[in-house]
Structure 1
Amino acid sequence: MLEHNDEIRRVKISVRPLVEYVYSSGDIESGFRSVAALHEGTRIHQQVQRMYQEGDLKEVTLKTEMLYADILYQIEGRCDGLILLEDGWMVDEIKSTSSDICFMEEGYPVHWAQAQIYAYIVAKEQGLSQMKIQLTYIQVVSGEVKKFVKSVTFSELESFVWGILASYNPFASLRLDHIRRRDDSIRSMPFPFDSYREGQRKLAGAVYQTVKEGQKLFVKAPTGIGKTVSTLFPSVKAIGEGLLQQLFYLTARTTTRTAAEHALGMMQSKGLHLQAVTLTAKEKICFQEKVSCKKEDCPFADGYYDRINVGIMDMLSNETLMDRTVIEHYARKHQLCPFEFSLDAAYAADAVICDYNYVFDPRVSLKRLFEERKKKTVLLVDEAHNLVDRGREIFSATLGKAEFLELQRGYKGKNNRIHETSRVVNQYFITLKKECGEIKRKLWKELPEELINKLDLFVQEAEQELQGIGHGDAESRQLLLNTYFAAQHMIRISKLYDERYVTYAEVVRNGVSIRMFCMDPSFLLAQAGKGFRSTIFFSATLSPLQYYRDMLGAGEDDYSLSVASPFHREQLDVRIEPLSTRYRDRESTKGSLVRLLSKMVRERQGNYLIFFPSYQYLQDVYDHFSAENSDLATIVQGTGMTEEEREAFLASFRSDNPDTLVGFAVLGGIFSEGIDLQGDRLNGVAVVGVGLPQLGMERDLMKDYFNHIGKNGYDYAYVYPGMNKVQQAGGRLIRSEHDTGILMLVDDRFLQRQYQELLPEEWKE
């Protein structure tokens, strides 16, 4: 935590990030991280601490202050152990590792550094002239222990800590200068538009008050109100007033990330000086043709930590809005992996624009966000309706048989332990396949403990192999790495397993897989957001609000807000066409549907989007439509479109198109939300069907679960998610005060009360 005022400049920092900054060196590991640190570390620490004698202390909080140059450093940390000796104390720093410690001749410099700072604080407090320091390493699989001990004088410790501060001071000074300039700019920054849109001031005020009180806020605010700037502006103001240190703008799509970048850019044009980093997925930003983080394969990974501090200092000294282009420029300049570089920059930034995963997914979350920092961080969750299904996927885990059979065969005679543990897991799947019987499926509510125990053994052996020289070829090692990650994820999810989960196995063709399915992610989403000062969930389609409060983990004291549409009813011509689009009726109503669509798009020349509940239905109607309207220009959403193809699709919707253009797209797909086609870029939208998810086992399991806990299961599993897609698609049409257009809803169910009540007020007659 960095503070700046007229009297003194302060830096409050924990021992670990301090020494990690100064002692960063070496390469990016090959994508492999030991699971030990995740679920073994605490247990192993406690195992060692139980060996302590009377008078020894464990988990000791230590603090000190040191004035270096013009900065007062407040250093604090938690020492694993203080062992009482006849002539004083010995600091014990405990580290668990999956590496082979047989040939370890001395501890790692960063671990010695951490222990030496603890030793300095103890010696300073107690007036000791000398301290002993012990590093205790434990191999998590074998339980082997190796200890390194040395004695250090107080003057040596003091000199060492001053050296650490000398190395860290340029970075701290840079950050403090930035904070002073940032806060001054925020205080004088006006709202980036000449005036507030109707409802904007109300939303911005509610966000600020929620941040101030440290609560959650659930906001349903219509398309076009300017939700992005209305949430960012008050959050930035809260940073300037010291309520926050950092904000995260979380999105599900690249398009909404761009909107956040644009909003911050507008504030910058009004005088804001704030540093923001946009995170881009590794697969997209990687400089190499094939993603591989081994130093042998990637010069940007080789020696990454030897160059990172210089790269970060350079970029932070010269840039504010660090989007993908800026990140790539400095990454190339300093020969750094652009993905890891962006992550390291995110810890220093005032604002981070990124995918939901970086906060909610335990596999990829920003794990170095310390609790103290979280307490002064707000999460702005854009298009929050997407987080329900995303959360379900994040907290579910799937594993298949095929990979273990392949590993069993591939490592035979090369690594008997990998061969054997893979064989044991493969045998579990063979038994499971038999249990699935003729219905090719097995369902149960309990945690599959037998499998988890077998995976634990596999993971331990895989760690040894992956950290060693390796016995298999490159392809086998890659398969082992991928399977290790999948097994590790299932083990991690097994620790979250409760009554909100169900387990099922399925036989598809010759293969069998097992899935731990999270039917209700609300509790785990709430846990993932715990510790942050405030969370703002907002969307144009957070409706019904109570459903989303339930599904996103609201507490009784958390706030809700509905903002009325700023647009006039006259801007939107809503039509309901009571034509059945149910699966059984589609063939018989196809001709009538094509005539309705043809009539709508021929009323006036312009650009139209027609949304369908599935690709198959879309293609079927499109073939019929294009045959009867060969004079009209059409464009169709394809499966697996590249970014360039998506951009080309949207670019076709030009306001100066000389002829009518009709686009065919899928409900809930990439073009049904998060896109902005203002003015005559879009003149009409047709939504075919009520968007219900396809009937299936998982949806039915959800339905039964919610019925069991007293909710309307069918609504929670099918109706609400479906109608959300309808609202999102229809919301593409009116994006500004000047937009007008036709919205046609095609399905007789739109006339039923159950569905009518879920339509936005501005759509209702």
Structure 2
Amino acid sequence: MLLLVGDHVTNTIQLSVRKLVEHVYLAGSIDNRFRSQSSLLDGTRIHQTIQKTYKDGDQKEVYLRSEIPFEEFTFLIDGRCDGLLFQDHVVTIDEIKSFSRPLEELNLEGVLVHWAQAKMYAYMYMLDHELQEITVQLTYVHVDTLEKKQLKTICHFSELEAFVFHVIEKYAPYARLMHVHRLKRNASIKDLPFPFETYRAGQRKLAGAVYKSILDEKNLFVKAPTGIGKTISTLFPAVKAIGEGHLTRIFYLTAKTITRSTAEEAFARMTSHGLCMKTVTITAKDKVCFKEETKCQKDYCEFADGYYDRINGAILDILSKEDRLTREVIGDYARKHSICPFEFSLDLSYAADGVICDYNYIFDPRVSLKRLVEEQKKTTVLLVDEAHNLVDRGRDMFSASLNKEMFLQLKKDYKGIDKEIYESANKINTIFISMKKDMDRENEMVLEVLNETFVSHLIDFVKKAEEMLIKNALPNLLEAYFKVNQFIKIADFVDEHYVIYAEKNKNDLLVKLFCMDPSKLLAQMGKGYRTKVFFSATLSPLPYYQEILGGNEGDYVLSIPSPFSKEQVDIFIKPLSTRYRDREQTKEKIIRVLLALVKQRPGNYLFFFPSYDYLLTVYEGFKAEDQETQTIIQASGMSEAEREHFLETFKPKSEKGVLGFAVLGGIFSEGIDLIGDRLNGVVIVGVGLPKIGFEKNLIKDHFNKKNKSGYDYAYIYPGMNKVLQAGGRLIRSENDHGTIVLIDDRFLHNHYQSLLPEEWNEFTIL
């Protein structure tokens, strides 16, 4: 990274030894065949094993740091060498590497990038201690047998100095490109105006709060109404903070593709007003993969084969020509250079000023961007859009489950083929059977702790599966292996925020580690970042979201009233029961309300229902009465093209109007913009409460025990959030007008009304 001092970019380039040598010497292919998960721990284990053999006076994990001038730059390079050995007045730099294949397969000369790393450390040590000669040693250790193979060479200072300057010379084009860019970027930010003629009411306040939070290194929780322009109001002050040297990177985190587009549009608008910034959008691997099957193996995919041989050229090419690195732009350059578009986007994210991506790249312990070091986090802001979605997403990220059927199938598959896999799967299946018997006639059962024998059998299964997978195996073994590994990892997180339960489903049995309260782990995964801004139109009630999203007492909190007038929307409440037991009885009355509304106030409407079955029931009754009005239904599992077609159906000033039937809490109830006459009204059937279920009741009981309102936490707050999101689709600008109809008698109860926006308080009862 290039250092920032005040609002100036200095010519000092700070980077680690490893990053420098990998940029220059890393070569070969992406090959995501099976690799032992335990191998991730092998490096640490093997380092410690070798370091224990060092003699008195030898040193381990020695921190080295050097300033090396090169042309117009000063390179500040640091890192920790594995070993510094002293014997018979000879100094040796020891670099330890684990090796999973037989050591005979190791190149007699070692791996170039490993030598480069060791030689960099050697030069840095010689520079500090004015040595003219040093021994450089690579110690390769087999992960299973601990068999050791050492390669040594004696290096002279002049030789290493020439080598180091050669490495830096190779890195310099990238450094120079980024240096020039950052000078240009900061100059463009200095004069960047707010990219609209005026601030909407509340926008300046929100932008100011974001900026102050960044300056003060505080987290911020914001409830700001739909249509205010939250995306630009959070991005603009963050961009300004980059120009002033407070930040080096912005992460704009979203839950859905459609909100990612909004962030891209905001950056594009600022670009049209003079901003020069590199922004990258990370899209899921299966969506951008060029191949029919997402299989990252060099002998299957030409874009994986030789990826590291071509990536530096591709990065220099795209960064020298493009600023907005969208999915399409990345795809074009990936094809041009024959590289994997997904891995390309990840590599670009470490060079970009702004990254637009899903929550999981930061908060999910399985897929987060691991190469973001602590120093980089300290100058990074996280802007968490539609933050209410992070509650359930967090629960999913930190939960894990296993089911009996998977192990029963493995037993069948490996009977007579591999005795160890068969027996391992059989032991686990037997414990599932025992648990199932203990449940008697109950469908669910809470487990006080995980059965120790069960856990030991799972660990044993992982070892046996690894041995088989290294050779070859049926696909279902790989799937089981990853699920068990994930389960074991999540088991380490289990504490008072979790419940362990078993659930019967016909002949199958599921055991789940369920994270009821994700607050602790969300805070842990977000630790180290300078500022986190959580914002949504429906972050209500704010104290609940501040607690459940891992906030603390020192956080800043902001609630912004709607900038739109009450005259822009007519609110109606129809007090009918939409409870499951009453739906058949009130269905005809709801149909009458919809028919009357369309007749009296023609236009484009979205009708939201709490379930797809309920939607279909009312839709069929409605169509039996009105076959002329154009209707469109949200289908389950819609593709991106189908979603776009659904939205494009809503044309402005439509003569007869379009009625869209959609699911409350689904893809069309948040994050979409149907401005002006594209949408004239919204009808919301029900208060959105989740279906009563075992997990929801566990959440309810958990928070009740903490003297919180468990029913609110499990049911009412999530339900009303869906209502507010759906209603927020209507008024998106100062010129929008329309109608909202709330159908449910509970909307007249004080507790539910207290959760409605202030501008909905003036309503008419139908």
Q: Calculate the TM-score normalised by the size of structure 1.
A: 0.95
Aligned pair in 2 of structure 1 residues 431, 84: CA closer, same or farther (>3 Å)? farther
Superposed, 1:516-531 pairs within 5 Å as 516-531=513-528
Corresponding residue for residue 367 of structure 2: 364
Of 556, 559, 573, the residue aligned with 2:556 is 559
Superposed, 1:63-142 pairs within 5 Å as 63-96=65-98, 98-101=100-103, 103-104=105-106, 106=108, 107-142=110-145
Q: Percent identity?
A: 55
Indicate conservation of the 8 Å contact 2:4/2:245, yes or no. Answer: no
Corresponding residue for residue 681 of structure 2: 684
- Cα drift, residue 432 of structure 1: 3.2
Superposed, 1:375-394 pairs within 5 Å as 375-394=378-397
Structure-2 separation of matches of 1:58 and 1:495: 29
Q: Which amino acid aligns with 1:15?
A: V
- Cα drift, residue 91 of structure 1: 2.5
Aligned pair in 2 of structure 1 residues 83, 449: CA closer, same or farther (>3 Å)? farther
- Cα drift, residue 381 of structure 1: 0.3
Superposed, 1:430-509 pairs within 5 Å as 430-466=433-469, 468=470, 470-472=471-473, 476=474, 478-509=475-506
Corresponding residue for residue 60 of structure 1: 62
Corresponding residue for residue 338 of structure 1: 341
Structure-2 separation of matches of 1:40 and 1:554: 36
- Cα drift, residue 551 of structure 1: 0.6
- Cα drift, residue 631 of structure 1: 2.3
Aligned pair in 2 of structure 1 residues 77, 722: CA closer, same or farther (>3 Å)? same
Structure-1 separation of matches of 2:420 and 2:664: 49
Q: Which amino acid aligns with 2:295?
A: S
Aligned pair in 2 of structure 1 residues 493, 224: CA closer, same or farther (>3 Å)? same
- Cα drift, residue 89 of structure 1: 3.0
Structure-2 separation of matches of 1:649 and 1:322: 27
- Cα drift, residue 141 of structure 1: 4.6
Residue 633 (str. 1) matches residue 630 (str. 2): yes
Corresponding residue for residue 268 of structure 2: 265
Aligned pair in 2 of structure 1 residues 183, 56: CA closer, same or farther (>3 Å)? same
Structure-2 separation of matches of 1:412 and 1:127: 66
Q: Which amino acid aligns with 2:551?
A: A
Structure-2 separation of matches of 1:180 and 1:389: 41
Residue 749 (str. 1) matches residue 751 (str. 2): no
Indicate conservation of the 8 Å contact 1:4/1:180, yes or no. Answer: no
Corresponding residue for residue 49 of structure 1: 51
Deviates more, 1:355-364 or 1:146-155: 146-155
Q: Which amino acid aligns with 2:87?
A: L
Structure-1 separation of matches of 2:141 and 2:498: 34
Corresponding residue for residue 195 of structure 2: 192
Structure-2 separation of matches of 1:138 and 1:498: 37
Secondary structure of the residue aligned to 2:440 is helix
Aligned pair in 2 of structure 1 residues 251, 7: CA closer, same or farther (>3 Å)? closer
Aligned pair in 2 of structure 1 residues 566, 97: CA closer, same or farther (>3 Å)? farther
Superposed, 1:222-621 pairs within 5 Å as 222-412=225-415, 415-466=418-469, 468=470, 470-472=471-473, 476=474, 478-621=475-618
Aligned pair in 2 of structure 1 residues 429, 155: CA closer, same or farther (>3 Å)? farther
Structure-2 separation of matches of 1:219 and 1:713: 23
- Cα drift, residue 550 of structure 1: 0.7
Structure-2 separation of matches of 1:449 and 1:96: 31
- Cα drift, residue 402 of structure 1: 3.1
Corresponding residue for residue 764 of structure 1: 761
CA offset digits 1:85-110 (Å, max 9, x no partner): 23143223333455454643554322
Structure-1 separation of matches of 2:711 and 2:383: 30
Indicate conservation of the 8 Å contact 1:435/1:442, yes or no. Answer: no
Indicate conservation of the 8 Å contact 2:3/2:9, yes or no. Answer: no
Indicate conservation of the 8 Å contact 2:224/2:536, yes or no. Answer: yes
Indicate conservation of the 8 Å contact 1:136/1:148, yes or no. Answer: yes
Residue 211 (str. 1) matches residue 214 (str. 2): yes
Aligned pair in 2 of structure 1 residues 100, 487: CA closer, same or farther (>3 Å)? farther
Corresponding residue for residue 205 of structure 2: 202
Structure-2 separation of matches of 1:445 and 1:551: 24
- Cα drift, residue 46 of structure 1: 3.6
Indicate conservation of the 8 Å contact 2:2/2:10, yes or no. Answer: no
Q: Which amino acid aligns with 2:61?
A: E
Deviates more, 1:505-514 or 1:291-300: 505-514
Corresponding residue for residue 9 of structure 1: 11
Structure-2 separation of matches of 1:505 and 1:303: 46
Secondary structure of the residue aligned to 2:387 is coil
Structure-1 separation of matches of 2:143 and 2:435: 30
Aligned pair in 2 of structure 1 residues 440, 604: CA closer, same or farther (>3 Å)? closer
Q: Which amino acid aligns with 1:205?
A: G
Corresponding residue for residue 179 of structure 1: 182
Structure-1 separation of matches of 2:390 and 2:10: 43
Aligned pair in 2 of structure 1 residues 8, 219: CA closer, same or farther (>3 Å)? closer
Secondary structure of the residue aligned to 2:533 is strand
Q: Which amino acid aligns with 1:497?
A: V
Structure-2 separation of matches of 1:488 and 1:66: 44
- Cα drift, residue 431 of structure 1: 3.3
Aligned pair in 2 of structure 1 residues 101, 501: CA closer, same or farther (>3 Å)? farther
- Cα drift, residue 506 of structure 1: 2.2
Indicate conservation of the 8 Å contact 2:16/2:79, yes or no. Answer: yes
Indicate conservation of the 8 Å contact 1:138/1:146, yes or no. Answer: yes
Deviates more, 1:479-488 or 1:752-761: 479-488
- Cα drift, residue 464 of structure 1: 4.1
Secondary structure of the residue aligned to 2:613 is helix
- Cα drift, residue 586 of structure 1: 0.9
Indicate conservation of the 8 Å contact 1:308/1:336, yes or no. Answer: yes
Aligned pair in 2 of structure 1 residues 471, 353: CA closer, same or farther (>3 Å)? closer
Structure-2 separation of matches of 1:111 and 1:421: 38
Corresponding residue for residue 724 of structure 1: 721
Aligned pair in 2 of structure 1 residues 705, 174: CA closer, same or farther (>3 Å)? same
- Cα drift, residue 419 of structure 1: 4.1
Indicate conservation of the 8 Å contact 1:415/1:471, yes or no. Answer: no
Aligned pair in 2 of structure 1 residues 125, 302: CA closer, same or farther (>3 Å)? same
Secondary structure of the residue aligned to 1:602 is helix
- Cα drift, residue 267 of structure 1: 0.3
Q: Which amino acid aligns with 1:318?
A: K
Q: Calculate the TM-score normalised by the size of structure 2.
A: 0.95
- Cα drift, residue 57 of structure 1: 2.2
- Cα drift, residue 43 of structure 1: 4.6
Indicate conservation of the 8 Å contact 1:608/1:683, yes or no. Answer: yes
CA offset digits 1:502-526 (Å, max 9, x no partner): 1122232222222111111000001
Aligned pair in 2 of structure 1 residues 34, 176: CA closer, same or farther (>3 Å)? farther
Structure-1 separation of matches of 2:529 and 2:535: 17
CA offset digits 1:605-656 (Å, max 9, x no partner): 2001111111111111111111112222211111111111111111111113
CA offset digits 1:179-208 (Å, max 9, x no partner): 111111111111100111111011001101
Structure-1 separation of matches of 2:451 and 2:135: 47
Structure-2 separation of matches of 1:436 and 1:119: 63
Q: Which amino acid aligns with 1:299?
A: E
Secondary structure of the residue aligned to 2:600 is coil
Secondary structure of the residue aligned to 1:437 is coil
Unaligned segments of structure 1, at least 5 residues: none
Indicate conservation of the 8 Å contact 2:2/2:9, yes or no. Answer: no
